[in-house]
Structure 1
Amino acid sequence: MSFCGALLSESVRDKLLGRGAAALSDAELLGLLLPRGSATKCLTQRAALLLRRPEGLAGLFAADQRELLEEPGLGPATVSRLLAARELARRCAQQPLTQRDVMSSPQRTRLFLQHHLGTRSREVFCCLFLDSQHRLLRCDDIFLGTLDGAAVYPREVVVRALQYRAAALILAHNHPSGITQPSAADRRITERLRDALALVDVPVLDHVIVGRGKCYSFAEAGLI
């Protein structure tokens, strides 16, 4: 083990335990997840190099497994830790939505959607199916697209809403470009889904577009 890596790792760990994780920089936090076997670079320095990729930390966590494995110095064990950390954050954000009315805490819903969709490199259209108390029943990724868009079929959404006995739902999709302003196609599919679901008495409460670190709400904009 590198003396620099061991010493720095110990110092950062002490800082985390003594002052809390919020006191650490992005590079220091990421360095704690990296292997401690390099004799050439300190862990925080190696982490800082990883964070130089476009969009920094968000860009790193937006990378898929294949992209991460192509990064110099990231092997299967480290990539597994990064993916596990990302999934734990997503599940932590999801749990409160199953226990209380999601519409009473829109910030929690957006936090979950940021974890769920904000790191995707391709467009994903998902639905949050809610019970009569507006608690989360299921979150399904229904349509997977390319960088340019996803083909969305109202019939599939209606079928799942009936299957899960949903009382309401929230639509959501990401814009990998990071721009959250809705397109004309986004507006059209929202209207089509709202009309189709109205036929089975399942209201659409919102449609959220997720970018990197921000969201656009159709409900807040008065479009639903």
Structure 2
Amino acid sequence: MPAGNLPLGHRKRLREKFIRSGLKGFHDYEIVELLLTLGSPRKDCKPQAKEAIKRFKTLRGVLEAPPEELQQIGGIGSHSVFGIKLVQEVAREFLKQKVMDKPVYKSSQEIFDYLYHSMRDLKKEVFKVIYLNSQNQIIEIVDLFEGTVNSSVISPREVVEGAIKYNAASLIFVHNHPSGDPEPSQNDKEVTRDLVYAGAIMRIRVLDHIIIGNNRYFSFAGEG
């Protein structure tokens, strides 16, 4: 086989192996290699894949790495990053649809599983409101505020107006802590108290307030 065809033959074998048995038996670097080849179809991506695993430690670390950090690895450019970013976005959309298509809201873990992927890299706090109907089906997810969360900037009136607009029977609040520590601050507790009180006046239930940190979360409902 000509030397120029070696990467193509290796890539073909990886793809055939994946088609036969999925990712079973794959090394992490081989999975990264397959993803890199989506954006660089005629390039040997094995060295870059191994270096990515070495630098970011795990497959998950590579998948969660910002594009600019991936491109610090020699041989990985914007085209190579395409496959990794594509998988991230497809996974995010899949999880979103999984949450939105659920017959009913069941747990804070489900909400975390989806929103973690869209909120983990945010540099500022973002406060979201999830509106649900009387069967606990999710109607809409709205970004209410960006910045430091406190009772002076989170408007209960705006939340209630949204509930009326979407004909919501209950609410879930979610925001992130860029520090990675999901433990609630005093401001978080005060905001939650005020929103629960405002909802009760309008007979709108607050099911939970979830704070997203680094691969973990805090649930006010879970903590009682």
Provide the TM-score with structure 1 as the length reference. Answer: 0.77
TM-fit CA distance, 1:88:
1.8
Contact 2:131–2:140 (8 Å) recurs in 1? yes
Is the contact between residue 180 and residue 213 of structure 2 (CA under 8 Å) also seen in structure 1?
yes
Q: Partner letter of residue 24 of structure 1?
A: F
Listed as ranges, the matches of 1:123-202 within 5 Å are 123-145=125-147, 149-150=148-149, 152-154=153-155, 155-202=157-204
Determine what percentage of the aligned residue pairs are the same residue.
32
Structure 1: give runs of 5+ residues left out of the alignment: none
What is the CA–CA distance in structure 2 between the aligned matches of 1:130 and 1:215, rounded to whole Å?
Answer: 21
Aligned length: 214
Q: How far does residue 17 in structure 1 lie from its aligned partner after superposition? A: 1.9
Q: The residue matched to 2:172 in structure 1 has which SS?
A: strand
Instruction: Map 1:1-224; keep pairs closer than 5 Å.
Output: 3=5, 5-34=7-36, 35-38=40-43, 42-51=44-53, 52-53=55-56, 57-58=60-61, 60-61=63-64, 63=66, 73-99=75-101, 100-103=103-106, 105-145=107-147, 149-150=148-149, 152-154=153-155, 155-222=157-224
Determine helix, strand or coil for the equivalent of 1:120.
coil
CA separation of 1:43 and 1:170: change in aligned 2, threshold 3 A: same
Contact 2:211–2:219 (Cα < 8 Å) also in 1? yes
Question: Could you list the runs of 5+ residues in structure 2 that have no partner in the other structure?
Answer: none
Q: Distance in 1 between matches of 2:138 and 2:26?
A: 33
- The structure number with the bigger radius of gyration is 2
Q: CA deviation at 1:75?
A: 4.0
Give the drift of 1:193.
Answer: 1.8
Matched residue type, 2:128:
C
Partners of 2:209 and 2:221 within 8 A in 1: yes
Query: Which amino acid is the alignment partner of residue 61 of structure 1?
Result: E
Deviation at 1:176, TM superposition (A): 2.6
* Change in 2 beyond 3 A, CA 1:128/1:76: same
* In structure 1, C-alpha distance between the alignment counterparts of 2:90 and 2:82, rounded to whole Å: 12
RMSD of equivalent CA atoms: 3.0
1:180 offset after TM fit, Å? 2.0
Deviation, 1:188, is: 1.7
- Kindly indicate whether the alpha-carbon contact (under 8 Å) linking 1:59 and 1:119 is maintained by their aligned counterparts in 2: no
Q: Deviations over 1:114-145 (max 9, x none)?
A: 22323434432212111111111111222223
For the residue of structure 2 that corresponds to 1:21, the secondary structure is: coil
The code of the aligned residue for 1:205 comes to L
TM-score by length of 2: 0.77
Tell me the amino acid that sits aligned with residue 6 of structure 1: L
Superposed CA deviations along residues 142-193 of structure 1, whole A, max 9, x for unmatched, are 2223xxx446422332222222121111111222332222222221221122
